[in-house]
């Protein structure tokens, strides 16, 4: 047995209170503001990467990475080659369980075409302290145009879970003055 009749227990039959209508209107207006701000941020924001993507194979991409290492290696860091490409060069960086390879040394103020790909799984390329975040997929060559504007050590973090060693998947980019 019901306390109130079914016609008054249904919420859509109840009149909305004034405070509820105000909150609904505010939420609707805020949703419109955010929708149009997304369009504005996309059109004018510097946070949007202009990138290119090409199909490739893991073997073909790995060969390009190894060619970069053979041509531009200057030293080793913890057993990994450190390469110093010339300004304007196409630089190939690959992700694989659980490593970013090779370590890069770039010159401040110079522009490079940074190619990213994976040999095995999807990885996340997050360059810190700069807020660059790209999903890296096997079979695709993601190309970013980068111009480092500050000297220092940058850390590459994989932010897409890629297995048991995911938490150790870190890489380095050193930016040096000419």
Does the residue 1 lie in any domain?
Answer: no
Does the residue 160 lie in any domain?
Answer: yes
Q: What is the pLDDT of residue 3?
A: 63
Task: Name the pLDDT band for 2 (thresholds 50, 70, 90).
Answer: low
Model confidence pLDDT, tens digit, residues 85-136: 999 999 999 999 989 999 999 999 999 999 999 999 999 999 888 878 889 9
Task: Name the pLDDT band for 48 (thresholds 50, 70, 90).
Answer: low
Task: For strands 103-107 and 170-176, give the pairing.
Answer: parallel
Domain limits at 131? 51-176
Same domain (yes/no): 21, 60 = no
Same domain (yes/no): 83, 12 = no
Same domain (yes/no): 38, 109 = no
Same domain (yes/no): 40, 55 = no
Same domain (yes/no): 36, 79 = no
Closest CA to 116 of 173, 165, 166, 75: 173
Does the residue 159 lie in any domain?
Answer: yes
What's the domain count of the chain? Answer: 2
Q: What is the pLDDT of residue 63?
A: 96
Q: Residue 148 belongs to a domain with what CATH number?
A: 2.60.40.420
């Amino acid at each position: 047995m019901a306390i109130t009749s079914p016609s008054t227990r249904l919420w859509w039959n109840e009149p909305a209170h004034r405070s509820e209508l105000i909150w609904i209107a505010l939420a609707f207006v805020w949703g419109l503001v955010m929708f149009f701000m997304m369009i504005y941020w996309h059109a004018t924001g510097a946070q949007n990467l202009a990138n290119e993507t090409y199909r490739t194979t893991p073997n073909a991409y790995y060969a390009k990475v190894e060619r970069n290492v053979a041509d531009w290696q200057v030293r080793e860091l913890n057993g990994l080659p450190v390469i110093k490409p010339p300004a304007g060069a196409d630089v190939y960086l690959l992700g694989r369980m659980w490593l970013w390879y090779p370590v890069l040394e770039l010159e401040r103020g110079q522009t490079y075409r940074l190619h990213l790909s994976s040999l095995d799984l999807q990885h996340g390329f997050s360059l810190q302290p700069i807020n660059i975040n790209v999903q890296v997929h096997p079979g695709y060559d993601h190309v970013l145009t980068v111009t480092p504007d500050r000297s220092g050590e940058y850390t590459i973090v994989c932010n897409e879970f890629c297995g048991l060693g995911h938490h150790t998947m870190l890489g380095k980019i050193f930016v040096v003055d000419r």
